[in-house]
A and B are shown apart, each in its own frame.
Chain A
Amino acid sequence: DQQVKQNSPSLSVQEGRISILNCDYTNSMFDYFLWYKKYPAEGPTFLISISSIKDKNEDGRFTVFLNKSAKHLSLHIVPSQPGDSAVYFCAASASTGNQFYFGTGTSLTVIP
C-alpha cells in the first residue's frame, strides 16, 4: 500500500527552464514533508521540507508547495541546471509516528 506516490518516473527539462516534480499522498495524518535528491551510488540527501502549517517553502532555486486539501505537493526548481540531474524522492511523516514514507522517485534530467 503506497502511501506516497510519485506518478512520473522520469522528467526531462531544458537547462534554464522550470522543473516541476509532483507527489501525492493518501494518509491525512501526514504533517511533514520532505524532498530528497539522490545521485547514483550515493545515499539520498535532504533538499527541502515543509510542515503542514505552511503551503509554501522556498530555499534558493527550490520551492515546495503543499496543497493539503488535494493531498498533493510539488517541488519547483528554477532555473534548472545540469547538476540538478538526479532522482528526487518525496517523503512524508506524521508527528504521531516515527516512519518516513517515501515515494518511488522521479528521475530528472536537465539537458544543457
Chain B
Amino acid sequence: GAGVSQTPSNKVTEKGKYVELRCDPISGHTALYWYRQSLGQGPEFLIYFQGTGAADDSGLPNDRFFAVRPEGSVSTLKIQRTERGDSAVYLCASSFSGDTGELFFGEGSRLTVL
C-alpha cells in the first residue's frame, strides 16, 4: 500500500522477553520517526532517522531500546528484557524530508507485556 505499514499490529509477550517491531515507511520518505503512546497520553518521541542514521535518539527511555534503519527504508525498533511498563502503542511515522512538515503515521503496533 501507499501508507506507512507497521507489523505486528498486536504483540503480547512475557516480561523479560525480546521484541522487534517493524516499520515500512512511505516510499521516498527520508525521515522516519518512532513514537510511543501510552493510554490517555499523546504520542511521545523516541527516535528520529534521517536516511540510515539516527539523527536524534534522545527520546529512547533506556538502553533496552534500540532502533535501526540499515538501508534507509524499513526500520526495526528492538526492545530487550521487556517490562510491563513498556506496554503501549508504538507508532511509526515518516515524512518527505524531516523538515517541519506533516508526519504520516502508521496504525501502530500495540505491545502488551504480561
Contacts and interface: CB of A to CB of B under 8 A. Distances in A.
Interface residues of B, number: 28
Size bin of chain A's contact surface? 20 to 34
A45 to B, nearest CB: 7
A4 B100 CA distance: 17
Interface of A: 4, 6, 9, 31-32, 34, 36, 41-46, 49, 51, 89, 91, 93, 95, 97-105
Which of B42, B105, B106, B107 counts the most A-chain CB atoms under 10 A from its CB?
Answer: B42
Contacts of A43: 4, 91, 93, 105-108
A45 B108 CA distance: 12
A98 B99 CA distance: 8
Contacts of B40: 9, 104
A58 to B, nearest CB: 17
A19 B9 CA distance: 32
